[in-house]
Structure 1
Amino acid sequence: MASTTTLDAGIQPAAPSGGKTFFGHPRGLATLFMTEMWERFSFYGMRALLVLYLVTSVHEGGLGYKAALGAAIVSVYNAMVYLTALPGGWIADRFWGPRKTVAVGGCIIMIGHFLLAVPVTVSFFVGLAFIAVGSGLLKANISTMVGHLYEGPNDPRRDGGFTVFYMGINLGAFAAPLVIGTVGQKVDWHLGFALAGVGMALGLGQYLLGTRHLSPQSNVVNSPITPAEKSAVLRKAALWLGLAVAFYAAVALSGHFTIDWAIWPLSIAGIAIPALYFARMRRDKDLDSDEKSKMTGYIWFFVAAAVFWMIYDQSSSTLNIFATDSTSSKLLGFDFPSSWFQSLNPLYIMALAPVFAWLWVWLARRGKNPSTTMKFAFGLLMIGASFLVMMLAMAAASGGVKVSPLWLAMVYLVQTVGELTLSPVGLSVTTKLAPAKYASQMMGLWFLAVTAGDCVAAIMQLIVGDATGSTWYFAAQGVAAILAGFALVVYRKKVIRLMGNVH
């Protein structure tokens, strides 16, 4: 998801009289804007190549994996990026503060991309792990620092600042496949991965040079860890790491290790951790009956979001493979790499996000703004419909026929419409239903819906194997999402009752 926030900029006040500004906003916004733009450039550029490199034959420079396995690896990688955002936020709160955590995260991401550029399989997978960890450190904290630039939540420039910031996300996501995708597919895979590393290096350099413009609050460690707590954490981390190393060393020495030994445990963990995390919060005795009711209502939105992301995030895996194997790379006489399809979503978001921001306000003024439940249901219907379109596209591609690029253009358009009705609304309802005690952690739980959805997709891809990409594969998921959407409509009154005073 290139961007999932549609904030209304509103009317901006005059620029402050003292010092330089960035479109009327604090100068630090330019630093964070450029950092995020280059980080997203590196992230989405590499992701546009990832599954294609995994499934390309060895003699053509790839790793030669089957399509299902390649898609599962991408799904697990996406899941880990969002899973690591939780410890990323915790590290900033307890150890380093947001500013230092983002700097460390950027360095780790850059190293990870350059490890991908080394034509050695072990280096490649270590690089993926580095990028996932670094993204978690950076993603969890850079948006927080944008908020630090403003004088509290009521600063009239705040929403406009986030709108500018998220434009940087989409600019980076749009340009990345066009540049990195072209180099990777047309010149050399590893040169493309290296170019992603250069992009992160540019973002990191911009960040380090511009830190003086950031708020002093970004240096603050909100809840510093005590020496006793630190020792306990390090002991537990060392214990679990040691057990993991010993287990995988034994598997490797026995000669039975395959990539499945990594994908299956991570996929199961990606589903179990959100469930356990939610259950722990729901059982907290400090919560009153109203807060527990709202948490129960939130389960509906979490599951709906997981179903949505299960399908949506396959844009970088199964849909990317379809773009390469079964879609014509020519349109109006112009030839282009298949990775360019990955630029459609951010392009659609930049075009449609302002429209949806205006639409919700327009409907609200007339008393016709749909409820959160109905917006979620519509998002599920759209994402389900996108895979029914994919079913038709796959049927049209039977017998080795290359279908028109307009098929995928339509799929991505329908998915983006669904995203803009579900994802920003999900962020909003998460903050509204969150108990006061778990205000920040609930936002982390929302991102775990992406982890859970991607892990379900990975397990499904491993189970169906060679059937990944068949017409029934897309049809089954599309129908499941549509049924989930109808379930939300049917039970909307029950969900609304659980939500209490939140509408």
Structure 2
Amino acid sequence: MEAAVKKETQQPAELKKKHPPGLYLLFATEAWERFSYYGMRAILVLYLTATVASGGLGVDKATALSLYGTFTSAVYITPMIGGYLTDRFLGRRLAITLGGIIMAVGNFSIFLHQSTTALYIGLALLIIGNGFFKPNISTLVGDLYEENDPRRDGAFTIFYMGINVGAFFAPLVVGLMSYKYGFLTAAIGMIVGQILFNTLAKRYLGDLGLKPTRQIQQEKTNTTKAPLTKREKMRTLAIVILAFVTIAFWTAFEQAGSSLTLYTQEHIDRHIGSFTVPTAWFQSLNAMFIVLLAPIMSIVWYKLGKSKRGDFKTPTKMGMGLITVGLGFLVLVSAVVQTGNSSELKVNLLFMVFTYFLHTLAELMISPVGLSMVSRLAPLKLASLLMGVWMASSAVANKLAGVLATYTQSFGYLEIFGVISAVTIVLGIIVLFLSKPISKLMD
């Protein structure tokens, strides 16, 4: 471990119940980056489908949903490339800064000009910047803890709150603006996060993340070419297996920015008295529930880890998460039964609130736990690369999510939401049955 980690692990046992202050710096940095991303994401489909006179690009819904899926897919592919480059040539802190600057420029370019050319340039920069930022800030959180530290899953759950503090406020702020200034606000959020990170990193992270992981391993083992041990190969295989499993979860979950957004706009009664809730505001529900539930889940994981029976195995948590996200779509199925595909019929907004609540519970069982697992199990010389591989599963899922969302315009919401619900529940049950053999691979 690097100096900051050594210092932290030398603290008395009673102080180790507390998390290191570096966690909260990474929490804040991620909060601002997610403010930028989710602010942009909340209005992207709406911007694409709005008329030119309304400040949009006038793209048809099917094309907009497909483009949205392609973008969110690519955002999760580049972390594998960025992770590879970081492991070999860049320190994690440098990669985080580089990625943040590129993403800020991307949002700013969309703000500057209302055209498809400016949009594609901006999205390309966002995709590239995220490749450097995303895998490295998550891996840096794991570097704060020893491998078997019982605080680890709880730390990632707290870190996950940072993601969702930003994700909660972004749609609320951006949803009240024109599309043009919404993208500018996203750029400003990214810049604020980078200023915060680079100002306080030395104080709270010490030397952590300054050196490429290849250099760290050279200093520890005097070689970077040693083959993976059998234990490391088994752990790597476990990461890859669970990455495939999470594809189904993220395919379902990422309907939020596409088909769920359009369904909300077309079929949800958004009136509260004389006030009409902006469609973009519903994107804040998931983040709000994360902020409320994450501390509770963090305590639950910590208490279970310290108890005699021990915490749930990681595959068990993921199986439970898949079932829960499927139940969320069952709630929507019951709503669609009432409205059909008629734009004249509306259902109570509580249907969407309950759906996002269940999706949030599922997310807390899968995403922060998965990040914790990768940071704990990945061999040092592959740490950022395997974090990128883990996120690449989200790339596949986001593209599938975009394809499924387009089918809601041809087959209908009932059919697509019903299929998603059935597949995730059945797969979740299968994962529960396979929990023990997968856990053996994880050692």
Q: TM-score, normalised by structure 1?
A: 0.73
Check 1:222–1:426 CA distance in 2 against 1; reply closer, same or farther (3 A cut): closer
Matched residue, 1:256: none
Matched residue, 2:289: 348
Matched residue, 1:174: 168
How far apart are the structure 2 equivalents of 1:290 and 1:163? 27
Code of the residue aligned with 1:392 in structure 2: it is: S
Displacement of 1:154 in angstroms is 8.2
How far apart are the structure 2 equivalents of 1:449 and 1:501? 19
Would the aligned equivalents of 2:156 and 2:371 in 1 still touch at CA under 8 Å?
Answer: no
Matched residue, 1:132: 127
Matched residue, 1:122: 117
SS in 2 for 1:96: coil
How far apart are the structure 1 equivalents of 2:416 and 2:74? 24
Matched residue, 2:352: 408
Matched residue, 2:86: 92
Check 1:353–1:332 CA distance in 2 against 1; reply closer, same or farther (3 A cut): farther
| Unaligned 5+ runs, structure 1 | 1-10, 16-22, 225-284
Q: What is the aligned-residue identity percentage?
A: 35
Segment of structure 1 superposing worse, 380-389 or 39-48: 380-389
Asked whether 1:220 is paired with 2:162, we answer no
Check 1:449–1:138 CA distance in 2 against 1; reply closer, same or farther (3 A cut): same
Residue from 197, 201, 211 that aligns with 1:207: 197
Deviations 1:141-167 (A, max 9, x none): 23444566x586689998887666443
Displacement of 1:120 in angstroms is 1.6
| Unaligned 5+ runs, structure 2 | 1-12, 216-225
Residue from 238, 249, 253 that aligns with 1:308: 249
Code of the residue aligned with 1:69 in structure 2: it is: T
Displacement of 1:449 in angstroms is 1.5
Q: Relative contact order (C-alpha < 8 Å, sep 6+): which is higher?
A: 2
SS in 2 for 1:216: coil
Would the aligned equivalents of 2:256 and 2:283 in 1 still touch at CA under 8 Å?
Answer: yes
Would the aligned equivalents of 2:158 and 2:298 in 1 still touch at CA under 8 Å?
Answer: no
Code of the residue aligned with 1:35 in structure 2: it is: T
How far apart are the structure 2 equivalents of 1:121 and 1:202? 27
Check 1:222–1:354 CA distance in 2 against 1; reply closer, same or farther (3 A cut): closer
How far apart are the structure 1 equivalents of 2:377 and 2:15? 31
Check 1:163–1:219 CA distance in 2 against 1; reply closer, same or farther (3 A cut): same
Displacement of 1:300 in angstroms is 4.4
Deviations 1:192-221 (A, max 9, x none): 111111222222333344454342343323
How far apart are the structure 2 equivalents of 1:24 and 1:381? 31
Asked whether 1:448 is paired with 2:443, we answer no
Check 1:166–1:309 CA distance in 2 against 1; reply closer, same or farther (3 A cut): closer
Displacement of 1:88 in angstroms is 1.9
How far apart are the structure 2 equivalents of 1:486 and 1:151? 32
Would the aligned equivalents of 2:167 and 2:284 in 1 still touch at CA under 8 Å?
Answer: yes
Would the aligned equivalents of 1:327 and 1:405 in 2 still touch at CA under 8 Å?
Answer: yes
Code of the residue aligned with 2:121 in structure 1: it is: V
How far apart are the structure 1 equivalents of 2:351 and 2:272? 12
Asked whether 1:497 is paired with 2:437, we answer yes
How far apart are the structure 2 equivalents of 1:306 and 1:165? 22
Would the aligned equivalents of 1:296 and 1:498 in 2 still touch at CA under 8 Å?
Answer: no
How far apart are the structure 2 equivalents of 1:97 and 1:120? 36
SS in 2 for 1:131: helix
Code of the residue aligned with 1:134 in structure 2: it is: G
Counting only pairs closer than 5 Å after superposition, residues 161-200 of structure 1 correspond to structure 2 as 165-183=159-177, 188-200=178-190
How far apart are the structure 2 equivalents of 1:425 and 1:61? 40
Displacement of 1:294 in angstroms is 5.5
Displacement of 1:50 in angstroms is 0.8
Would the aligned equivalents of 1:12 and 1:160 in 2 still touch at CA under 8 Å?
Answer: no
Check 1:425–1:60 CA distance in 2 against 1; reply closer, same or farther (3 A cut): same
Code of the residue aligned with 1:328 in structure 2: it is: D
Matched residue, 2:107: 113
Matched residue, 1:252: none
Would the aligned equivalents of 2:329 and 2:355 in 1 still touch at CA under 8 Å?
Answer: yes
Would the aligned equivalents of 1:387 and 1:411 in 2 still touch at CA under 8 Å?
Answer: yes
Code of the residue aligned with 2:192 in structure 1: it is: L
Matched residue, 1:466: 409
How far apart are the structure 1 equivalents of 2:321 and 2:153? 24
Counting only pairs closer than 5 Å after superposition, residues 8-27 of structure 1 correspond to structure 2 as 13=15, 25-26=20-21
Aligned length: 417
Code of the residue aligned with 2:129 in structure 1: it is: G
SS in 1 for 2:15: coil
How far apart are the structure 2 equivalents of 1:313 and 1:195? 23
Would the aligned equivalents of 1:38 and 1:172 in 2 still touch at CA under 8 Å?
Answer: yes
Displacement of 1:436 in angstroms is 7.0
Would the aligned equivalents of 1:318 and 1:469 in 2 still touch at CA under 8 Å?
Answer: no
How far apart are the structure 2 equivalents of 1:403 and 1:180? 25
Would the aligned equivalents of 1:68 and 1:468 in 2 still touch at CA under 8 Å?
Answer: no
Residue from 303, 307, 319 that aligns with 1:377: 319
Q: Which has the larger radius of gyration?
A: 1
SS in 1 for 2:263: helix
Residue from 49, 55, 62 that aligns with 1:55: 49
Matched residue, 1:43: 37
Matched residue, 2:222: none
Matched residue, 1:244: none
SS in 1 for 2:269: coil
Segment of structure 1 superposing worse, 397-406 or 200-209: 200-209
Check 1:382–1:96 CA distance in 2 against 1; reply closer, same or farther (3 A cut): same
Check 1:13–1:372 CA distance in 2 against 1; reply closer, same or farther (3 A cut): closer
Residue from 275, 280, 288 that aligns with 1:339: 280
Matched residue, 2:9: none
Asked whether 1:387 is paired with 2:329, we answer yes
